[in-house]
Amino acid sequence: MAILTFLSDFGQSDHYVGAVKAKVLSINPGIQIVDLSHDIAPYDIGHGAYILDSVFRDFPTGTVHLVCLSAEGKKPEPAVAVRLEDQYFVGKDSGLFSLISDRKPDIAVELTVPQLPSTFMEKDQLAAAAAKLASGDNMHEMGSPYPELQRLIGRQVKANKKRIVGHVIRVDHYGNLITNIPKTDFDSILKINNSGRFEIKVGREKLRKVHQSFDETDGGEIYLLFNSTGTLQIGIKNGKATELLGLRHDAPIIIDFTE
């Protein structure tokens, strides 16, 4: 059974999500549609990229990912289909696809514009293309070669032998602070210093322990752990870290290592 994931900023109170799904199923009722999220704020492609990057590699090879998100801008964004990391993506070229992978696409095409004008291109063009792709249609026959996707640069981690400087890139539904600091960098620098000692500066707090699970802390205590995506997460057991620590998106997180 073909799998198609669906990510949008449509919300849940209108008919838009249902209309897009109806279009997909009218082309191929056998497609399995998996909702990733429809609660992305309008134009927040950073959040959309974070959601997609966190899960798309967990799906089987050849999964089609339908992305109905646009950036806030004056220029129209071409509709594209992309093959990247053995997965397929359909959406507007807003720069989002450059935020989920450092690799260049194997194939990228600009989708042929439907002959009939539409005020709901997410349904009439993007959903139709995604459904056909999931049904086995040839991507090359769906449009013309697209030379290069728009590229955006996300927040970068700065690291040397003594320090890592990262940022909060997402505040999740539970008020946890998700950073862009990868466990691989942390482990590498910890090994270089060979002492096992470090200090993590989180707002006014200075912490010296990374936990293995949420259960290692009591209610109201701060915890730090590397989550399922391999990045540092900061939370408060039974509380909201963003409120109690006073930190929001883009707040700096600093790790200092000592010999």
d(CA 59, CA 99): 18
In a domain, 54, yes or no: yes
In a domain, 152, yes or no: no
Query: Within 10 A of 81 (CB to CB), how many other CB atoms are there?
Result: 26
Task: Say yes or no: 33 and 140 in one domain.
Answer: yes
Decide: residue 219, CB within 10 A, 0-12 exposed, 13-18 middle, 19+ buried.
exposed
Main-chain phi, psi angles of 50, to 5 degrees: -65, -45
Q: Which of 155, 182, 178 is nearest to 241 (CA)?
A: 178
Residue after which a domain boundary falls, among 81, 113, 145: 145
In a domain, 181, yes or no: yes
Digit-by-digit pLDDT tens for the chain (259 residues) are 799 999 999 999 999 999 999 999 999 999 999 999 999 999 999 999 999 999 999 999 999 999 999 887 667 899 999 999 999 999 999 999 999 998 999 999 999 988 778 889 999 999 999 999 999 999 999 999 999 999 887 778 999 989 999 999 989 999 999 999 999 999 999 888 877 789 999 888 898 899 988 888 878 889 999 999 899 999 998 899 999 888 898 899 999 998 7
Task: Say yes or no: 139 and 178 in one domain.
Answer: no
Domain count, the chain: 2
Q: What is the CATH number of the domain that holds 59?
A: 3.40.50.10790
Percent of the chain at pLDDT exceeding 70: 99
d(CA 167, CA 242): 13
**Containing structural domain, residue 87:** 3-145
In a domain, 151, yes or no: no
